[in-house]
């Protein structure tokens, strides 16, 4: 009798555990976009010297970005960098990045996803690259921008966005900060008890997109990243065979540390890469 009661209790515990796990799985599926996208939806006022730019994205969404001219006496910047953010905050938090690039002779367009920074709607994977390319097209029409010298820079989740955009409209160079092969890899790292690959609707397959881009790629990551461990960025580099790619690790830097957001080592690495890559590619090479 005692053994029978023990078996009965064991089965009840297992059933409860399975039910609880299924509830967690259901919650993860229902709330996954709230876990992926962490927007600051407020519309920040542009700082002094920053131009607000309006453009039309996918399905006629009216979106806003910020343009910073290069801090140089040259009539044209060395190049124009279009930035796709990570999954948190909005473009206001990327002003130090833009200012650092502008000081080095680059014009910068800081984009925001829909649902971020006062932009209408909600973010979803299938429109973000198209929205980004709409911003690229808008800045390419400016008289102070050389359309052949527009490069893409993506942060974390934004690395997947610019990689997809690069496959559609190849830039002369691509910069990826803290990229991952696919979002499911990061999800499985943080939630090993969940069937992440099965649940994900927004997959962001960075490595897959990169197979269709043959231009030069720079990957920069912090070697102490606890959100996107640097092994994932290394994997992006190791698996990429479509074109030249290089890796720069910043010692001691976590995912959201200033060192990988707008630090001098990061900015100088990007500057060196772009100047070497773009030398001879149109006017204004430095």
Task: Please report the pLDDT score of residue 21 as a whole number.
Answer: 59
Residue-wise pLDDT for 198-237, tens only, equals 888 999 999 999 999 999 999 999 999 999 999 999 999 9
| Stronger pLDDT, 108 or 76, i.e. the higher one | 108
Residues paired with 70 in a beta bridge: none
Residues paired with 109 in a beta bridge: 67, 82
Token code pair at residue 211? 């197979």
| Stronger pLDDT, 122 or 35, i.e. the higher one | 122
Q: pTM for this one?
A: 0.90
Token code pair at residue 160? 């997947």
Return the sign of the alpha-carbon dihedral for residues 144, 80, 128, 43: negative
**Domains parsed from the chain with CATH numbers:** 37-278 (3.40.50.1820)
Residues 6+ apart with CB under 8 A from 44: 90, 91, 92, 117, 118
Residue-wise pLDDT for 162-191, tens only, equals 999 999 999 999 999 999 999 999 999 988
- Portion of the chain with pLDDT greater than 70, in percent: 85
């Amino acid at each position: 009798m005692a053994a029978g009661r023990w078996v009965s209790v064991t089965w009840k515990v297992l059933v409860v555990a399975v039910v609880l796990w299924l509830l967690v799985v259901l919650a993860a599926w229902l709330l996954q976009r709230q876990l992926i996208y962490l927007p600051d939806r407020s519309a920040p006022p542009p700082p002094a010297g920053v131009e607000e730019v309006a453009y039309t994205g996918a399905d006629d969404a009216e979106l806003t970005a910020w343009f910073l001219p290069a801090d140089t006496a040259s009539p044209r910047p060395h190049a124009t960098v279009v930035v796709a953010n990570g999954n948190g905050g909005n473009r206001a938090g990327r002003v130090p990045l833009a200012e650092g690039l502008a000081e080095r002779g680059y014009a910068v367009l800081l984009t925001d996803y829909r649902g971020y920074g006062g932009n209408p709607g909600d973010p979803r994977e299938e429109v973000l690259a198209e929205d980004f390319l709409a911003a690229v097209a808008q800045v390419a029409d400016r008289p102070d921008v050389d359309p052949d010298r527009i490069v893409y820079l993506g942060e974390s989740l934004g690395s997947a966005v610019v990689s997809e955009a690069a496959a559609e409209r190849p830039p002369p160079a691509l910069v990826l900060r803290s990229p991952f092969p696919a979002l499911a890899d990061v999800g499985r790292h943080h939630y090993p008890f969940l069937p992440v690959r099965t649940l994900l609707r927004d997959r962001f397959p960075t490595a897959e997109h990169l197979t269709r881009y043959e231009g030069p790629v720079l990957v920069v990551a912090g070697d102490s990243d606890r959100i996107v461990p640097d092994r994932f960025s290394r994997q992006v580099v190791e698996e990429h065979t479509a074109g030249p790619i290089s890796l720069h690790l910043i010692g001691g830097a976590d995912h959201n540390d200033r060192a990988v957001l707008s630090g001098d080592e990061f900015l100088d690495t990007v500057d060196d890469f772009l100047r070497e890559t773009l030398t001879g590619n149109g006017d204004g090479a430095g």
